[in-house]
């Protein structure tokens, strides 16, 4: 059955419009609990960047009208969508010119934060509620996930797998030669200007010190994941208290060690007393 020529024309029009407007689209990806919200708040403190957090965007990519409207206003559109890390084919097809920022953090801190984030009144944490769904989304890029029997895995293993496959997804994004910048959460906390200045240059925007006072721009906000916009950058989070015992660290090591070495994450990180 032949496709309607009008429908084809409409699809081509939207695809070309997305291709054009994606030049001013900033997409933040990464593993949950890795600092994606902090990065989003910092970037959208710039006068030339507007956007939506994942909960505000209903976990969807921006419609073309939003990109076009912001471009008309000489604004960049920034969306934080860590759940879209497995949507590589769609991003390549629809947003080929997007500026993609991928933030990474030590897996001990990530899995510990996943465990401590309470998601409902029963006290269930992120690992119990969301880890398996995240792995299912990533299975679009990595079919072998379907053979891992994730329903039988313990929570720490699930968290480690999410971290590992997010790193592997980032490697696939790199191979597609997209406009990708990798940001270490620890570097962002230690020296935010030095970390973000090359990112802003790559985006095509001049530096603004407003990025360093995001808490003044987001003071009245509370984002998903229990992230408060009023809190300033806290360097102590580089070495957070870990809700992990030594055996659980070994589990993370076994799952993630290869990727940890690639990105210079030591097996043990400093801990607060």
What's the confidence (pLDDT) of residue 1? 47
Q: Which long-range contacts (CB under 8 A, 24 or more apart) does 7-13 make?
A: none
The Cα 193–Cα 209 span in angstroms is 8
Q: What is the pLDDT of residues 74-125, one digit of tens each?
A: 999 999 999 999 999 999 999 999 999 999 999 999 999 999 999 999 999 9
Q: What is the pLDDT of residue 268?
A: 67
Q: Which of 57-61, 189-193, 216-220, 269-273 has the lowest mean pLDDT?
A: 269-273
What structural domains and CATH numbers belong to the chain? 9-262 (3.40.50.300)
pLDDT tens digits, 220-266: 999 999 899 999 999 999 889 899 999 999 999 999 999 999 999 98
Looking at residue 2, its pLDDT comes to: 55
CA triple 121-122-126, angle to 5 deg: 90
Bridge-based pairing state of the strands 76-80 and 99-104: unpaired
Q: How far is CA 101 from CA 78, 180, 232, 239, in A?
A: 10, 6, 21, 23
Question: What is the rounded average pLDDT for all residues in the chain?
Answer: 93
Q: How confident is the model at residue 10 (pLDDT cuts 50, 70, 90)?
A: low
Residue 272's pLDDT band (cuts 50, 70, 90): very low
Question: Counting beta carbons within 10 angstroms of the beta carbon of residue 248, is it exposed (0 to 12), middle (13 to 18) or buried (19 or more)?
Answer: buried
According to the model, what pLDDT value does residue 137 have? 97
**How large is the average pLDDT for residues 54-79?**
96
In this predicted structure, the answer to whether residue 273 has a pLDDT above a threshold of 80 is no
State percent of the chain over pLDDT 70: 96
Nearest to 224 by CA among 54, 41, 39: 54
Give pLDDT, residue 24: 97
Residue range 168-202, pLDDT digits in tens: 999 999 999 899 999 999 999 999 999 999 999 99
């Amino acid at each position: 059955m032949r496709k309607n020529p009008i429908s084809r024309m409409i699809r081509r029009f939207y695809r070309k419009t997305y291709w054009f407007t994606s030049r001013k689209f900033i997409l933040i990806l990464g593993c949950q609990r890795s600092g994606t919200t902090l990065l989003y708040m910092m970037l959208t403190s710039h006068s030339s960047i507007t956007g939506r957090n994942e909960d505000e965007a209903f976990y969807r990519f921006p419609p073309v009208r939003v990109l076009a409207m912001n471009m008309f206003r000489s604004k960049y559109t920034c969306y934080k969508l860590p759940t879209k890390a497995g949507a590589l084919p769609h991003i390549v097809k629809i947003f080929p010119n997007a500026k993609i920022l991928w933030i990474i953090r030590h897996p001990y801190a990530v899995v510990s934060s996943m465990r401590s984030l309470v998601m409902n009144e029963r006290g269930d944490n992120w690992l119990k509620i969301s880890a398996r769904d995240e792995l299912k989304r990533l299975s679009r890029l990595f079919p072998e996930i379907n053979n891992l029997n994730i329903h039988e895995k313990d929570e720490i293993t699930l968290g480690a797998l999410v971290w590992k496959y997010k790193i592997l997804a980032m490697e696939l994004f790199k191979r597609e030669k997209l406009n990708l910048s990798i940001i270490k959460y620890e570097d962002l906390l230690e020296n935010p200007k030095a970390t973000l200045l090359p990112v802003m240059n790559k985006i095509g925007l001049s530096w603004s010190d407003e990025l360093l006072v995001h808490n003044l721009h987001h003071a009245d906000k509370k984002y998903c994941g229990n992230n408060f916009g009023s809190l300033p950058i806290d360097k102590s989070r580089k070495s957070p208290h870990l809700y992990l015992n030594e055996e659980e660290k070994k589990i993370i090591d076994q799952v993630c060690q290869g990727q940890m070495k690639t990105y210079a994450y030591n097996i043990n990180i400093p801990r607060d007393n």
